[in-house]
Amino acid sequence: MSLKLNVIIGSTRPGRAGPAVAKWAAEQAGTHGKFEVELVDLADFNLPLLDEPSHPRAQQYQHEHTKNWSASVAAADAYLFVTPEYDYFPNAALVNALQVLSREWSFKAACVLSYGGISGGLRAAQELRQLIGNLDMMAIPQTVAVPSFGKFINDDQVFAPTEPTINGLNGALDALARWASALKAARQA
């Protein structure tokens, strides 16, 4: 069964580190072999704070930016959210992007990759998993946290982490593929 995975760059601020980390994650996911991978940059969608009059469950979107975001999310079977940690929390742009939609996320599998200082963004990852679960996704417990991520980004903005991080991501992708496959079958049943 073909599984589409969107690797979502959650950070949207100028000068962000998110693309370097997410690009690496998308490449890893590609070589993992279980997914058709797309690297999705949230910044490309220019989503304002929720500006749709109807509840997202109605899917009556009035704005092109919401329709574009909806199409991107709806096309995937699984998501890898690459999140920074701001004040022990996922960044507001990512939280907003999640809340702008509803049904598009439903019964899909999701993994969180966080990066930060000494904590590796783990607090943000746990908060994000709660929101993901509330949106009817399976937030798999295998999170990937990258502490002191800056040490692994070189002058060319290439992120090259150590083996435990690589192994951690591969293990998480194994679990994500199993959930994504089961949930795809459930959505089609």
Ligand X SMILES: Cc1cc2nc3c(=O)[nH]c(=O)nc-3n(C[C@H](O)[C@H](O)[C@H](O)COP(=O)(O)O)c2cc1C
Binding of ligand X by 25 (CB under 6 A): no
- Side-chain-side CA neighbours of 178 within 13 Å: the count stands at 8
| Cβ(17)–Cβ(148) below 8 Å | no
- CA-closest candidate to residue 30, choices 184, 125, 169: 169
* Residue nearer to ligand X on the CB measure, 68 or 119: 119
Q: Spell out, one character per residue from 102 to 121, where the chain touches ligand X: x when CB under 6 A holds, - when not.
A: --------------xx-x-x
Binding of ligand X by 126 (CB under 6 A): no
* Residue nearer to ligand X on the CB measure, 86 or 107: 86
* Residue nearer to ligand X on the CB measure, 111 or 138: 111
Binding of ligand X by 87 (CB under 6 A): yes
**Residue from 50, 64, 88, 130 in contact with ligand X (CB under 6 A):** 88
Burial 86-121 (b: 16+ CB within 10 A, else e): beebbbebbbebbebbbebbeebbbbbbbbbeebbb
Which token pair is 4? 């589409």
**Residue from 30, 86, 96, 99 in contact with ligand X (CB under 6 A):** 86
Q: What are 37's strand-pairing partners? A: 5
* Residue nearer to ligand X on the CB measure, 6 or 83: 83
CA 95 vs CA 48, 59, 70, 98: distances in Å: 12, 18, 15, 5
Tell me how far, at minimum, the Cβ of 92 lies from ligand X, in Å: 9
Binding of ligand X by 18 (CB under 6 A): yes
Binding of ligand X by 17 (CB under 6 A): yes
The DSSP call for residue 77 is S
- CA-closest candidate to residue 164, choices 146, 149, 152: 146
* Residue nearer to ligand X on the CB measure, 23 or 108: 23
* Residues found near ligand X in the complex (CB under 6 A): 11, 13, 16-18, 84-88, 116-117, 119, 121
